[in-house]
Chains A and B, each alone.
Chain A
Amino acid sequence: NAGVTQTPKFRILKIGQSMTLQCTQDMNHNYMYWYRQDPGMGLKLIYYSVGAGITDKGEVPNGYNVSRSTTEDFPLRLELAAPSQTSVYFCASTRAGTSGNREQFFGPGTRLTVL
């Protein structure tokens, strides 16, 4: 049981390049999330999904796109990378439902630098 895995661990992009951050979970969780963490700050939600084929924007969605074709995978696409997207990106997942302790399980993060 690997939990939530993310690839790559590190990446340097040039301004204007595009890339996809991969996220996979093997816990059969319906809900998945993408956060970004800027230096010295908390996490901010980019996009989330409550099931395959269903995605929605979070607090900071501009410059990103997501898709959810399977329960396991939730890739994050960066189009036309900008220096403001330099951050650490975390993917997370949790089981469905809106009450009780539904802790989010986090991947190890992807450190992205845009130069």
Chain B
Amino acid sequence: AQKITQTQPGMFVQEKEAVTLDCTYDTSDQSYGLFWYKQPSSGEMIFLIYQGSYDEQNATEGRYSLNFQKARKSANLVISASQLGDSAMYFCAMRETGGGNKLTFGTGTQLKVEL
């Protein structure tokens, strides 16, 4: 079974600094997809970034980048120039095989951005 592990329950970062949120995954599939979602205190789920297992370059979306290390099975999210509005829960997820585009989620990392 596929599994996502996020080992940092909580993280603090100072405003304008960069922060890395860790995500490791376990799968025997060659083709898979990795997603990061943000969940602010208001509760909605916001898609941030996607990395395909065959993508040669690390994904980037504005201040978000994904440090994808396939051999180590890690897909860490890097947020540059942190802002107060980045304070939220962040979830890593992997698309399962077997059809249906089902996602397996990690337990999340609570990020707090401080002045």
Contacts and interface: CB of A to CB of B under 8 A. Distances in A.
B44 to A, nearest CB: 6
Interface stretch (B11-19, B67-75, B78-86, B105-113): B105-113
Contacts, number: 64
Nearest to B103: A104
Contacts of B93: 42-43
Contacts of B50: 101, 103
A103 B34 CA distance: 10
A31 B101 CA distance: 8
Interface size on B, as a range, is 20 to 34
B102 A58 contact: yes
B43 interface: yes
A74 interface: no
A45 B96 CA distance: 12
Nearest to B110: A40
B47 A99 contact: no
B101 A109 contact: no
Contacts of A58: 102
B31 interface: yes
Interface of A: 31, 33, 35, 40-45, 48, 50, 56, 58, 88, 90, 92, 94, 97-106, 108-109
Interface of B: 4, 31, 33, 35, 43-45, 47, 50, 52, 91, 93, 95, 99-108
Given A31-B101, A42-B93, A100-B33, 11 more contacts: A43-B93, A45-B102, A48-B102, A90-B45, A98-B101, A102-B95, A103-B47, A104-B47, A104-B103, A105-B47, A109-B43
